[in-house]
Structure 1
Amino acid sequence: MKKYWYTYIIFVIALSNIQAQSGWTRKAESFYVQTTASYYSSKDYYTTEGFLSDTGSRFSSSALILYGEYGVTNRLTALLDVPIIQLNSFSTTETVGGVGSVKLGVKYRLFKNIPVAVQADFEIPTDDGINLATAHRPNELGTFDQINLPTSDGEFNVWTNLIGSHSFGNGKTYGSLYSGVNFRTESFSNQFHAGAELGHLFFDQLYLIGKLRILEKLSSGEGNQGGSFLYGEGTTFTSFGLNAIYKLGGHLSLVASYSDYAGFLVERRNIYDGGTFSLGISFEY
């Protein structure tokens, strides 16, 4: 009986993070809500050719994110991911903000007793991808430059995933493998992503999850090369991270995570390389 209790905890917690991937779905009519605040800052920009460039300024981004899941049936889960407010800036510009792209998703477990699932997330833009930040100081001509720092890239995406998971070690440990394609519109290049996760429950209260993910350009064409690096055109990377979930008691948990980029599997291209920290709280029932 204890093994099944641990496995249930894994089912809940493995689904308890915005970026978590698992083949399990929520129990019918159960729900999970999480809110997190995140912060990211970097001055190390990798060009579309993969070279580290000194831009002379630091890019920073912070966000307040609402994430939710609802068990429509035991094998079908509805998903919602909304950056309620996102703030972007360079050290040389003002800070601009807005609502990030909204993700509405569904996950379906293919087999009743085997944690293998397919997932589709529909990423809906909240603006036209234009959000101009004005420089703090005038240029040599005496005018103030503006740079586009969008909080939404202005194009519709469909993220697809095939996910397989397995629990072992008396139900206290789980592993997941996943891969899928991001189908993009507005002449942007499609993307391939894949990853792995390994999590373990310590002291029946603290859950730690290690993550590894790659993102690669899939389309053979040049795609849409205009606009801000925040559009993600030509962006590739390897990312790694660690999540911690601590059960506070009852239905509440404290969640924290750290993620960063590397180039040992896929080169960093068109990206600012830096760590992202997040902290939040969750409620599930």
Structure 2
Amino acid sequence: MLSTTSAYDLEGVKTTTPKYSLWSVGLFAEYGLVKDLMIGLNVPLYRSSTVESYGTVGGLGDMGLDVRYGIVGGDWPVSVGVGMELPTGDESGVIISVGEPNWNMEDIHLPTGDGELNMWLNTGVSHSFWPTEAFVSFDAGYNVRALSVSDYTKQFDNGQFTDQYRVSLKGGYKPLDKLWVTLSIYRFATAGTAKSGRFTFNGLGEGVEYNAWDLGLIYEFNNVLSFSVDVSTAFTTPRAIYGGVNVFAGVMFKI
């Protein structure tokens, strides 16, 4: 969930806009198919964007499907994988002709997806400090973009996108029975120079970049059910995205 009046363009220049709000409901699931092979599914069931006094656009977001394989075991297990992002969202969502000077008298584009099929190449390593209940993990990925794009997205520089990469470092510690505290630092950036004139709306598409931290709490209600809450924000100037504090809440089940 995000509520803000700050928006950043491809160059990181900040502008003040009418109040913008974003909330979403998603489903994430992981399943071990066989030893060392894990499949993950990430479904943004509903992504809703609102510009105060003008309107709301909402719908299904872009779905992610991820496969990971453990190539090294032991105290520092390493995995590699491939993830596909499917264009299941609506890349054409807009609020029509609001006539607001802050928006240059144009339609406000509020898509729930970017209309492209892309592939993430992922790797990760983790370590448990057992018997101390603590862990650390590192994850990295490279996004090969625009394997396929929709006709709508092709209107913007023929549907081209600059590849992306991400890196993250996460640590967790259990200070109390049933309660975990986690801290993550991560970077999400363009692998090259972002180009103007491409699809880049509502924090989706070309040129999205940020360095951010995430502080989380996880409460283990029992061996099956857990609850989580996270707070996250950028700590340097972001690009091509709305700025502000994001709040996440979740319910987790172990089967």
Please report the TM-score for the alignment, with normalisation by the length of structure 1: 0.78
Paired AA for residue 88 in structure 2:
T
State the match for 2:58 in structure 1: 97
Aligned partner letter, 1:222: K
Provide the residue aligned with 1:250 in structure 2: 223
Aligned twin of 2:243: 273
- Counterparts of 1:1-285 in structure 2, within 5 Å, are 39-55=1-17, 57-113=18-74, 114-127=76-89, 129-134=91-96, 146-168=107-129, 170-185=131-146, 186-220=159-193, 222=195, 225-263=198-236, 267-285=237-255
Cα pair 1:44 1:53 within 8 Å, conserved: yes
Q: How many residues align?
A: 239
Question: Aligned pair in 2 of structure 1 residues 250, 180: CA closer, same or farther (>3 Å)?
Answer: closer
Residue identity matched to 2:3: S
Gap runs ≥5 in structure 1: 1-38
- Deviation, 1:202, is 2.4
> Are 1:224 and 1:233, in contact at CA under 8 Å, matched by a contact in 2?
no
Please report how far the alpha carbon of residue 219 of structure 1 lies from its aligned counterpart in structure 2 after TM superposition: 3.1
Whether the aligned pair in 1 keeps the contact of 2:207 and 2:239 (CA below 8 Å) is yes
Letter in 1 for 2:231: Y
Tell me, what secondary structure is at the counterpart of 2:113?
Answer: coil
**Cα displacement string for residues 9-45 of structure 1 (whole angstroms, at most 9, x for unaligned residues):** xxxxxxxxxxxxxxxxxxxxxxxxxxxxxx1111111
Using CA pairs under 8 Å that are at least 6 residues apart, name the structure with larger relative contact order, 1 or 2: 1
Measured after TM superposition, the shift of residue 119 of structure 1 is 2.5
Q: Is the strand fraction higher in 1 or 2?
A: 2
Q: Which stretches of structure 1, 4 residues or longer, exceed 3 Å deviation after superposition?
A: 137-140
Amino acid at match of 2:241: I
**Distance in 1 (alpha carbons) for counterparts of 2:78 and 2:196:** 33
How far apart are residue 116 of structure 1 and its match?
A: 0.8
Which amino acid in 2 is paired with 1:87? S
What residue identity is the alignment partner of 2:129?
A: F
| Cα displacement string for residues 119-162 of structure 1 (whole angstroms, at most 9, x for unaligned residues) | 32211011451011246x6569xxx9532100111111212221
Specify the code of the residue in structure 1 equivalent to 2:58. G
For residue 46 of structure 1, report the CA deviation from its aligned partner: 1.7
Q: 1:104 to 1:238 in 2, by over 3 A?
A: same
- Corresponding position of 1:32: none
Aligned-residue offset at 1:222: 2.7
Please give the secondary structure, in 1, of the residue aligned with 2:206. coil
Preserved contact between residue 189 and residue 223 of structure 1 (Cα < 8 Å): no
Counterpart CA distance in 1 for 2:84 and 2:197 is: 20
Q: 1:92–1:146: structure 2 CA closer, same or farther, 3 Å change rule? A: farther
Q: Secondary structure at the match of 1:121?
A: strand
Contact 1:83 1:102 in 2 (8 A): yes
Secondary structure class of the residue paired with 1:258: strand
For 1:221 and 1:51, the matched residues in 2 are separated by: 14
Which residue identity is paired with 1:245?
Answer: I
TM-score (norm 2): 0.86
Quote how far apart the aligned CAs of 1:234 are. 1.2
Percent of residue pairs bearing the same amino acid type: 28
